Structure 1
Amino acid sequence: MTDAARHAADLLGRRLQRAEPLAGGDLSTVQRLVFDDGLHAVVKAGGAAPVEAAMLQALRAAGAPTPEVLACDGQVLVLSWVDADGAVAPAWHDLGCVLARLHARTGPGYGWAQDYAFGPLPIDNRTHAHWPTFWAQRRLLPLVPSLPSALARRIERLAGTLDARLPATPPASLLHGDLWHGNVLCAGHRVAALIDPACYYGDAEVDLAMLQLFDRPDADFHAGYGPRRPGHAERLPIYRLWPALVHLTLFGQGYRALVERQLRDAGV
């Protein structure tokens, strides 16, 4: 039994029966907890627990299903257990509806009240009133120092063109921020919960682009979400570039081809 599991039991004031490791904890330790009174829960350790708790609560307030935050402190985040069958395909339409509700919630500017991180990689969430500047200065350019020089120059060249390629002031929609099928728990045809957010306010197309980096949402998803803005296809590789760069930085050269593909599709 880990220290995180024991600490979660202490926070909840319950007697722990067993703790089981869960898959998917690339950047944090995640366990399923079973208590003597029948409660099942999840404990996460290794992240910015209070920030993630606030993000989950913001998603829930916007009408997106999330696990309930049962307890949280500077060491662990304890969440309610969510039953799911693991298949997103039957729930594409419902996911489109969920994201439409989420993106209808808007903020006063682009960014978030707290910075965040993907494991050792910091995410600068300082707010900015101009969206192309936010995307360049808070997302793309901070990763340049860690890149090979040829890639770095292409990123810098792209960043210098964003004023002409991205909308200056799109609605500042509430974003999940790390939207792929592994962070969408489904049960049958419904989304049971969105998990592992990296929220901020920004162009809603960012979530849609991230979702299409590793997944292929079908026509049912787009019917549930609603029409896309003109020019979305041209912006897609620009928005997919940041998560591709994050994967390259965190997980190595196996993701370089993914980055190269986004740059090529963006014409850089």
Structure 2
Amino acid sequence: MMPLAERGAALLGRRLVRAEPMSGGDLSSLVRIVLDDGSAAIVKDGPDPPAEAGMLRAIRAAGIPAPEVFAADLRTLVIEPLPAGGGNADADLGRVLARLHAVTGDDYGWNRDYAFGTVRIANHGSEDWPDFWAERRLLCHAPHLDAALRRRIEALAATLPERLPARPRPALLHGDLWSGNILTDGGRVSGLIDPACYHGHAEVDLAMLSLFGAPGPAFREAYGEAEPGMAERRAIYRLWPALVHLRLFGSGYRSMVEALLDATGC
């Protein structure tokens, strides 16, 4: 099988000069390539490169910094390298997310399903937000959980019409927003990467963003005021990534799932 770097160069119709391994995520391999014309690109594999390409294009179409997609096929995604020198960009991140979330869809969901590794993500549309979150983000995990967790998830799902707004504005979401998927350079956001986009309640991205370490107060000041009741909904929205992590990486995430369920009272 052609190595990842060579596949990327072939998709661009160029000759590979050099390949530099990069630290990637848990679910894909990543390499930086230099081509015979002196240009560079990032090449990655993953469960569904065409889906990721479509999401990156949607983010860029919203005027949000993200890598340009150079090429994609069923196994390989080739994207633009972005500066990532680091630095605190909390205020700019607030502005960037506010612009992203200002983009509105017709309903909740996305135009295709995709996956986190072996965990398939169903995204067929719904006009009822509590139903979407219950069916596509919580109950979909129930067959893969033990009886105790399954009962608690089912109990929570049954109460969502009383806990979540029926029809919040269907904002464009990054969908997997944590610090590792936010590139910064010189105090600004240079790009959002590794998206899992769909349209939904904007608070989903905000809940995920603070799951593994929250941005400072400059973020909230730039983003805008919290909706009433956000604190009560945070654990419900954080359950989605916690359940995905439990299925992908095992029992080390069970305590996180249980703590979030405790916070909901279920």
TM-score bucket (shorter structure): over 0.9
One-letter amino acid matched to 2:85:
D
Segments of 5+ residues of structure 2 without an aligned counterpart are none
CA distance in structure 1 between the partners assigned to 2:27 and 2:2 by the alignment? 17
The answer to which of 19-28 and 180-189 deviates more is 19-28
CA distance in structure 1 between the partners assigned to 2:259 and 2:34 by the alignment? 44
CA distance in structure 2 between the partners assigned to 1:95 and 1:47 by the alignment? 28
Equivalent residue number for residue 30 of structure 2: 30
TM-score for the superposition, normalised by structure 2: 0.97
Q: CA deviation at 1:2?
A: 5.4
The percentage of counterpart residues that share the same residue type is 59
**SS of aligned partner of 1:161:** helix
**SS of aligned partner of 2:154:** helix
Q: Contact between 2:86 and 2:186, CA under 8 Å: does it hold in 1?
A: no
Pairwise CA RMSD: 1.2
Equivalent residue number for residue 254 of structure 1: 252
Equivalent residue number for residue 240 of structure 1: 238
Q: CA deviation at 1:37?
A: 2.3
CA distance in structure 1 between the partners assigned to 2:190 and 2:47 by the alignment? 23
Segments of 5+ residues of structure 1 without an aligned counterpart are none
**SS of aligned partner of 2:89:** helix
CA distance in structure 1 between the partners assigned to 2:240 and 2:6 by the alignment? 37
**SS of aligned partner of 2:56:** helix
One-letter amino acid matched to 1:243:
P
CA distance in structure 2 between the partners assigned to 1:86 and 1:181 by the alignment? 11
Q: CA deviation at 1:149?
A: 1.1
CA distance in structure 2 between the partners assigned to 1:75 and 1:244 by the alignment? 27
What are the Cα deviations for residues 69-107 of structure 1, in whole angstroms up to 9, with x where unaligned?
0111122110011120245xx101100100000000000
Matched residues, number: 266
Moved over 6 A (4+): none
Q: Contact between 2:85 and 2:186, CA under 8 Å: does it hold in 1?
A: yes
Mapped pair 1:168 → 2:166: yes
Q: Contact between 2:31 and 2:44, CA under 8 Å: does it hold in 1?
A: yes
TM-score for the superposition, normalised by structure 1: 0.97
One-letter amino acid matched to 1:128:
S
CA distance in structure 2 between the partners assigned to 1:111 and 1:178 by the alignment? 14
Mapped pair 1:157 → 2:155: yes
Equivalent residue number for residue 73 of structure 1: 73
Equivalent residue number for residue 193 of structure 1: 191
Mapped pair 1:108 → 2:106: yes
CA distance in structure 2 between the partners assigned to 1:46 and 1:206 by the alignment? 24
What are the Cα deviations for residues 35-71 of structure 1, in whole angstroms up to 9, with x where unaligned?
2322121111132111111100100111210001011
CA distance in structure 1 between the partners assigned to 2:34 and 2:153 by the alignment? 47
